[in-house]
Chain A
Amino acid sequence: MLVRIGIGLAFVTAAAALLAFGDNYVLRLATTVAMYATLAVAWNIVGGFSGYPSFATAAFFGLGAYAGGLASVAGAPIVGAWIGAGLITAVFATLLGFAILHLRGHYFAIGSLVVADVLREVTNSWVSLTGGGMGLNVPLLGGSTGTQAKIFFVAMALVAVVAVLVSLWIDRSRLGVALRCIEQNEDAAQVIGVDTRRAKVAGFAVSSLLTGIAGAIYASWVSYIDPSDVFDISLSVKPIIMALLGGVGTLAGPVIGAFAFLGLEELIWRNSLEFHAGFLGILVVLLVLFLPGGLGALRGKGAVSWILGRFGRSRK
């Protein structure tokens, strides 16, 4: 418990320091890492706890981005637009969940994967509402660029904190137990009386709520979105890579993974604009082949061991 409080304090101090001294570049990185952490933690609720290989993150993110963006265009107060976007996404995910969560394994993976494609094309075609492929200009917040950067960092960081708290809460609640039962053996879970469908849909909805809010904040942050950007398939895959890096199904894993992934991504982007996707691919392959348990598998091997021993405690 003390360690947890310590970590929390460290994060708060770091955030305060960023707000006081960080330049726009550092704030952009920090906002991105908060967004990544939110997506990874949210994915982990479905993909980690219940073991369902969901590729729906891009769909939820894009839906949240467009819902929030359109609400702001219509003049909704910004925080209301963000939360409303999350709720819309959650309603969508609930309906979708009833439709596809009875699928297992590959079939579920594919089903969740194509949702983003369908939504992207719908957004592309529905020009009168979304502006189609021309994209959507989301109204800017007032204030200087510096102030805006700080506001979006605080907003995204708050969502990330909420995501972690929600995932902590689920982990300790009946829902978490149900999801972990499903992960181990869904048929057996049913036999002992777990309402598996309800648990799966609930997990899916909570995960999408967080993802949708992150998408909506992203839309206001970058102030211009288009369908191929916010429904990009790599948005579905990156959170999975982060969770794999940090440890799937653990509480701290996705957060650690988000930091590690952003670091690697910056490194790759800086050194190779032309071939960064290729490097990312190689990284993914190496990760799956040599470190399937995440960075935690390095524990006890040198300098990383102490840090991971403190933060990366696996609960599985």
Chain B
Amino acid sequence: MLWVQVLVNGLALGGLYACIAAGFSLVWGVLNIINILHGSLIVLGGYLAFFAHQSLGVNPFLFAPVAGAITFLLGYLVQRVAINPVMGRPVLMTLVLTFGLNLFLDNAMLAGFKADYRKINLVPPLGVFEIGDIIVPIDRVYATAVGLLLVLALAALLRFTQLGRAIVAVRMDRDAAALMGIDVRRTYAIAFALGTFMAGSAGALLAAIFPISPVSSGGYLGKAFVICVLGGLGSIPGVVVGGFALGVIESYGAMFIGPEHALTLSFLLLLVLLVVRPTGLLGRRGFS
């Protein structure tokens, strides 16, 4: 029975994890940039939800898209000002650039919000429901459901809208896309902003179930890495598979070797995967 309970615990986080990684994967796949800033934007989304709940009593699950909209604007601005000039430059440059941006945002949040852990306390608490002996926390189910919904919305946007088709076209071949009349720079900016949208809304969902703090941004970034590599880069189904896989792996890892080693376990897994199968479970050959 314990085995099933642990499996459920893991699955109950899967959709949220997919949401954490979807934007990261999109930015990596389309812009060929590893956005180190992603973890901090998740934290920022969490704080937005926290303050909205504290001052206005807004439900964090409903607030998630709003938090996303705010980080969308921020992301668009950042891309236009700082990232567009380095598009197409070597990995080292883009990585160091987003690292610098991350240092700045992290430090700004640390100064503004302090390092204390804060948590949204929903009144009344959502509680749990039970199926036989299995306990399922409702807040996690909500978070995973909303997270999955957002991931699906992103997938639909990429699949069915003109904007989404443009993003996919730029990912496949930017020169050909430009020749077809797509404004490549604008498309990059929007794709980046969509990535930060996902980060912000994931943060709001996280804040609804876990305590948040500026110091945890690195952990979220690590999770996004692992999920992308687990599922394979540049595909939405890959992110969903990776998200659920990480949820379950972390859950069993916590059972066998202790919850404090969950991230280390996933990093070790990441290293092994990189060595054995760098394209991920569902992935194609990524961009180098």
Q: Which chain A residues have a beta carbon within 8 Å of chain B's beta carbons?
A: 47, 51, 53, 99-100, 103-107, 109-111, 114-115, 117-118, 121-122, 125, 233, 237, 240-241, 244, 248, 274-278, 280-285, 287-289, 292
A207 to chain B: closest CB distance in Å?
15
The SS class assigned to the B binding surface is helix
B264 nearest CB neighbor, chain A only: A121
A284–B37 Cα gap in the complex (Å)? 14
Provide 11 A-B residue pairs closer than 8 Å at the C-beta atoms, listed in order of the A residue.
Answer: A106-B91, A109-B92, A110-B270, A118-B271, A275-B108, A277-B104, A280-B103, A281-B105, A283-B100, A285-B100, A288-B100
Is B99 interfacial (CB 8 A cutoff)? yes
Cβ–Cβ < 8 Å partners of B278 in chain A: 103, 107
A292–B87 Cα gap in the complex (Å)? 13
Contact in complex: A285, B97 (CB < 8 Å): yes
Is B117 interfacial (CB 8 A cutoff)? no
Contact in complex: A244, B96 (CB < 8 Å): yes
Candidates B102, B111, B218, B275; contact of A99 at CB < 8 Å: B275
Q: On chain B, which size bracket covers the interface? A: 35 or more
Is B93 interfacial (CB 8 A cutoff)? yes
A98 nearest CB neighbor, chain B only: B275
Cβ–Cβ < 8 Å partners of A118 in chain B: 264, 267-268, 271
Contact in complex: A107, B102 (CB < 8 Å): no
A206 to chain B: closest CB distance in Å?
20
Contact in complex: A100, B104 (CB < 8 Å): no
Candidates B99, B107, B222; contact of A284 at CB < 8 Å: B99
Candidates B28, B97, B111, B267; contact of A275 at CB < 8 Å: B111
Q: Which of B94-141 contact A (CB under 8 A)?
A: 95-97, 99-108, 111
Is B85 interfacial (CB 8 A cutoff)? yes
A114–B90 Cα gap in the complex (Å)? 20
Number of cross-chain contacts by CB at 8 Å: 124
Contact in complex: B97, A281 (CB < 8 Å): no
A51–B278 Cα gap in the complex (Å)? 20
B95 to chain A: closest CB distance in Å?
6
Cβ–Cβ < 8 Å partners of A248 in chain B: 92
Q: Which of B53-93 contact A (CB under 8 A)?
A: 82, 85-86, 89-93
Cβ–Cβ < 8 Å partners of B178 in chain A: none
B217 to chain A: closest CB distance in Å?
12
Contact in complex: A53, B274 (CB < 8 Å): no
Cβ–Cβ < 8 Å partners of A121 in chain B: 261, 263-264, 267
A104–B275 Cα gap in the complex (Å)? 11
